[in-house]
Amino acid sequence: MTIHLPSPDGALRAYEPRTEPLALTPGTPFTSRTVFSAAHVVADPFADTHPDAPAAVDWDATLAFRRHLWAHGLGVAEAMDTAQRGMGLDWAGAAELIRRSAAEARAVGGRIACGVGTDQITGGSLADVRAAYEEQLALVEESGAQAVLMASRALAAAAQGPEDYLDVYGHLLRQAAEPVVLHWLGPMFDPALTGYWGSADLDVATDTFLEVIAAHPDKVDGIKVSLLDAEREVDLRRRLPQGVRCYTGDDFNYPELIAGDERGFSHALLGIFDPLGPLAAEAVRILDTGDTAGFRGLLDPTVELSRHLFQSPTRFYKTGVVFLAWLAGHQTHFTMVGGLQSARSLPHFARAYELADGLGLFPDPKSAEDRMRTLLALYGVAR
């Protein structure tokens, strides 16, 4: 049946939903790339809460979604930006998420890396920042997960220049038990991180970032770059010390960056692989066979959806990710911690549905259509 979807100009357009999903099943582990999907959290829709209250999480549904990702061979990047760190999920909630997800990973044999930040403080001195990082690093290491040292709002506020970043990160890397992933999240994802690494000039910031890595190459498994600039990522990738990986976090240009060129490639740690999980896994398995064209043929068509979800204000991409999880049947409701389900418009949701349905991402297209109709009715679209 035709469904009528609202456009940004207020008009309704007819869309014919597909009737069959893309046939994707779990397969063998990846051999050519290491791939993490950042994963969202599922809110408890029955909690009597409000946006300023601590997050109320549906733990069963949240862990079930991680098992879904692991079943397709993806690693889980836990308690990071996609899980609404600093946008509805506080440190207490993130700590519980890390404990539970790491235990689940051990139980099913899944790969997991967890975000280490400073969000238990809102400001303070460099000593306060170091102590906050240390507390979170200790918890992640005790859980048995790999650590991802996330960019810190508190450090961005306290640092006076590049030397403060060199000091803080050097201190943390010296005490890390295992090699970590360093995370550079651009200001399009979080405006409070403007000027990270001590300069708003990205060339200067890159030099400082590389100086941190060069001083401790044995403690850096890789870097996760989320600057939405493919050329800059390739340049940075080529300047890394031998053995240090680049995990792309570029949700605009990931197919070309993962495919790579004659001088190298990027691994992946991506928020868009939350809704694309099974399809992304299939594409990487094709790449494992050496079929780059087949990989690009499957993954390139997903870029339009990703760019739509990550359009400015980019930090609200989580709303689209959870919306698609609801349509795909991974959760029974469209409620988010912090009330973030209100962060995108109905035309935005309509286009996300249309693009995802066109890709065959919904295991049950009819159920997804029914849920989309429910949302339309809620907004007063009766047709």
CA–CA dist 103, 354 (Å, integer): 36
Read off the pLDDT of each residue in 293-306 and give the average, rounded to a whole number. Answer: 98
pLDDT value of position 167: 98
Q: What are residue 14's phi and psi, to 5 degrees?
A: -85, 135
Would you state the torsion angle of the CA atoms of residues 270, 275, 278, 280, taken in this order, to the nearest 10 degrees? -40
pLDDT digits (tens, 9 = 90+) for 190-238: 999 999 999 999 999 999 999 999 999 999 999 999 999 999 999 999 9
pLDDT digits (tens, 9 = 90+) for 97-146: 999 999 999 999 999 999 999 999 999 999 999 999 999 999 999 999 99
189, pLDDT greater than 70: yes
Identity at 106, one-letter amino acid code: R
Residue 73: Cβ within 10 Å count: 21
Mean pLDDT of the chain, nearest integer: 96
Read off the pLDDT of each residue in 60-75 and give the average, rounded to a whole number. Answer: 97
| Structure tokens given for 47 | 């909690």
Read off the pLDDT of each residue in 157-163 and give the average, rounded to a whole number. Answer: 97
pLDDT digits (tens, 9 = 90+) for 25-66: 888 889 999 999 999 999 999 999 998 899 999 999 999 999
Describe the crossing of helices 273-288 and 292-299 by its angle, rounded to 10 degrees: 160
**What distance lies between CA 347 and its chain's CA centroid?**
23
